[in-house]
Chains A and B, each alone.
Chain A
Amino acid sequence: MTTSVTTQPAAIERTYAAYGRPAWRRVLLNREMAIIGLLAAVLVVASVIVPKFATPTTMGYLLFDITPILFISLAMAPVMIAGDIDLSVGSMVGLSSVTVGLCSQMGIPIAVAGLIALAVGAIGGLVNGLLITRIGLPALAVTIGTLALYRGIAVGLLGTTAITQFDKWWTALIKARIGTTGIPVVMILFVLLLAAFVIMLHFTPFGRGVFAIGLSKDAAVFSGVDAERTRVILFVLSGVMAALAGIYYALYYTSARGDNATGMELQVIAAVVLGGVSVFGGRGALSGVVAGVLLIGVLSKALQLVNVTSDVVSIITGVLLVLSVIAGSVMNWVQSKRVRPVPGSIQSKTA
């Protein structure tokens, strides 16, 4: 799966370059592979030098920690590839966890409470999407607004109290691990969703439309992409995935609080950008995004195990992020320099 995913964006984004480079170079020399390679290297080195790192328990805790970010990043990546951004996801995690908490407190079964929370997420995403596409406001401005709005509703609903009683069967399920592997059962859901998002983004006309919108909205519209509808759908998906993360958050920490996951939007965006998605849109792949989230998770866990404090982890994440953005820009610049003397290649780009 990794191979097919990584070839795809290269094929979409630089059709012209694909003809100029052998297949192995296209597969191996791109930002996704760089980040996957870095993840592999960090995993190997951490397993060797960090005591107790290479154990099922550590892998389990590591995945439990990053599960909400994994979920949200699946939907954040397409939103950013389409050239938008959704800053309201952290607040939506809070609102969704409060929704699950309140419903469960009223005696509504968790399964139904979860569906209600997902609906809240869909509505929140729809509000974002409609404000952005119908009124034509920038996604940054709208979602900064709803970041405050959804957090405000979440905190308003529960005040300073927390709901901490949930159906034991569900909390046990969320915390369960697959056999002795240490891998959380909830990862099964993640893999299914990952497959769905990979197919949607990399193997359907809808997904190609997402990249086209990110490269040039006008060009996408002229070539028959319904840009408004596509962007609204992406924001709804983003809201739903954030709500899913909120359900997980409430059940895993058995605590529904209005301030759950404050600031998570920035962790998600950092991981997505680290994973090779362009902040200007039009470029990225889910393989890189998942590797980006895992890389941050692995680095924090490994550094935690050797008692490095959280500020150092933040510094390392920040440096990685800045370097990855710089590396991307440099690569693009070099590419444009190299392509210029071959006009034939540029013309084939429009194909």
Chain B
Amino acid sequence: MLGKSRAGLRTLASLAAASLLLAAGCSSGTTAPAASGAASSPAATANLTMTFLPKNLGNAYFDTSFKGVQTAVAAIGGTVTQVGPAKGDDPAGQVSYINTAAQQQVGALLVSANDKSAICDALKEAMTAGVKVVTFDSDTTPDCRNLFVNQATAEGIAKVQVDMIASQIGDAGEVAILSASANATNQNAWIDMMKKEFAASHPNIKLVDTVYGNDDDQTSFDKTAALLQSHPNLKGIISPTTVGISAAARYLSTSKAKGKVALTGLGTPNQMRKFVEDGTVTEFALWNPEELGALAAHAAAALAKGEITGKEGDKFKAGDKEYTVGADATVLLGEPYRFNKENIANFNF
């Protein structure tokens, strides 16, 4: 008994030693370059160590963003570490990492918020500790961050979808919308703007129907079938939701309407790749997460160097492009990004 429990204790002790060795290894691996990076950076006074905190780890979308961040940070001469909760929708997990970043006194924190208010107090504490806070992709309330890098505006999203469908159907004919749910705030706002855009710039396009797939794959699939049946002259479908557009593409790809009825909207490259390659879909839009990450990193660096403070009208450079801070300390990435046969192979999210 005694001998064995000693063995047990030895096991535990050696395990403790092992886990701490691991900690030590990681500590020398990650913090050391951070220090040297800061020292050798061009602006000697600016702290260009950054923490990248996505909604969760192992998420292809955020991994793509992080690629952009890494490229930008390398160009600036800083360092960046990606940390985050293992599962999504975990504001408590994010708070813990925000606190850690504040303690480590990093120069800037890039965060996509899991909850617009739950992580607020932690971000405020971090800002008090001197950390510049940049939200991207998903914002908090404005007083909890220095800057929000917005991927797209509602106007931009509405316009790109109207432009794409107009060019795909020759600017004339019947189109329909396959949306998420009837009370989805984002989608309804975009649909209203699309209607206005059609009326103003595309008088020959007639919006004949709006149906709701409730962001459910099977419902969206069935609604697409029903749309084609009830509107035999339909020339195009817009689906401003990633679930809807992939379900509609799946239906179209095996129906005889393939290639005759155009489909566009908001989708992700991984979901849409095979439908673009087989010709069901010509072009769809979303933003480019890599550019979004790069812009967020450049904005954070500009804040850390004191070049901008986040007030309206502030200008800063991201690569070779200049961006201007808008109202509510928001920077807009630009027009949504169009994915088609030429560029879809470059994306994995």
Enumerate chain A interface residues (CB-CB to B < 8 A): 17, 21, 25, 29-30, 34-35, 37-38, 41-42, 45-46, 49-52, 55, 57-58, 61, 64-65, 162, 164, 171, 175, 249, 253-255, 257, 259-263, 299-312, 314, 316, 319-320, 323-324, 327, 330-331, 334-335, 338
**Interface of B: prevailing SS:** helix
Establish whether residues B121 and A175, one from each chain, have CB atoms under 8 Å apart when the complex forms.
yes
Q: Is B204 an interface residue (CB 8 A)?
A: no
In the complex the two chains form, is A311's CB within 8 Å of B57's CB?
A: yes
User: A253-B92, A299-B19, A304-B97 are contacts. A334–B4 as well, Cβ < 8 Å?
Assistant: yes
Our pick among B1, B2, B19, B118 for the contact of A164 (Cβ within 8 Å) is: B118
B residues with a Cβ closer than 8 A to A are 1-2, 4-6, 8-9, 11-13, 15-17, 19-20, 22-24, 26-27, 30-31, 57-58, 81-87, 89-93, 95-97, 99-100, 103-104, 115-121
Inter-chain contact B117/A254, CB cutoff 8 Å: yes
Chain A residues with CB below 8 A from B95, complex form = 65, 253
A25 contacts which chain B residues (CB < 8 A)?
2
From B98, which residue of chain A is reached at the shortest CB distance? A61
Q: How far is the CB of A347 from chain B (nearest CB, A)?
A: 19
The answer to whether B26 touches A307, judged by C-beta atoms less than 8 angstroms apart, is: yes
Q: How many A-B residue pairs have CB under 8 A?
A: 149
Distance to closest chain B CB from A288 (angstroms)? 12
One of B57, B93, B96, B115 near A255 (C-beta < 8 A): B115
A295 to chain B, nearest CB (A): 9
Given contacts A46-B23, A306-B26, A307-B26, contact A164 B12 (CB under 8 A): no
A38 contact from B12, B22, B57, Cβ within 8 A: B12
Q: Please tell me if the beta carbons of A51 and B27 are within 8 angstroms of each other in the complex.
A: yes
User: Complex: how many Å from CA A324 to CA B15?
Assistant: 11
A65 to B17, CA, bound (A): 24
Task: Name the CB-closest residue of A to B3.
Answer: A334
Residues in A whose Cβ lies below 8 Å from that of B90 = 262
CB neighbours (8 Å) of B93 from chain A are: 310
Q: Is the CB of A331 within 8 A of B1?
A: yes
Counting from the closest, the 3 A-B pairs by CB-CB distance are A255-B118, A164-B117, A306-B27
Residues of A within 8 A of B11 (CB): 323, 327
Give A171 to B120 CA distance when docked, in angstroms: 13
Contact B57 A29 (CB under 8 A): no
Chain B residues, CB < 8 A from A164: 116-118
Contact: B30 with A37, CB < 8 Å?
no
**Contacts A38-B12, A61-B103, A175-B121 hold; do A331 and B23 have CB atoms under 8 A apart?**
no
Cβ contacts A to B, 11 pairs, < 8 Å: A37-B9, A38-B15, A253-B91, A253-B95, A261-B92, A302-B23, A305-B103, A307-B81, A310-B84, A327-B8, A335-B1
Question: A316–B103 contact, CB under 8 A?
Answer: no
Nearest-neighbour CB distance to chain A for B237, whole angstroms, equals: 27
4 further interface pairs, Cβ-Cβ under 8 Å (given A162-B118, A307-B31): A51-B104, A305-B100, A316-B22, A323-B12
Q: Which residue on B lies nearest to A33, using beta carbons?
A: B9
Cβ B86 vs Cβ A58 within 8 A: no
Q: Of A45, A58, A255, A257, which contacts B103 at CB under 8 A?
A: A58
Which residues of chain B come closer than 8 Å to A57, judged between CB atoms? 103
* Docked CA distance A254–B125 (Å): 14
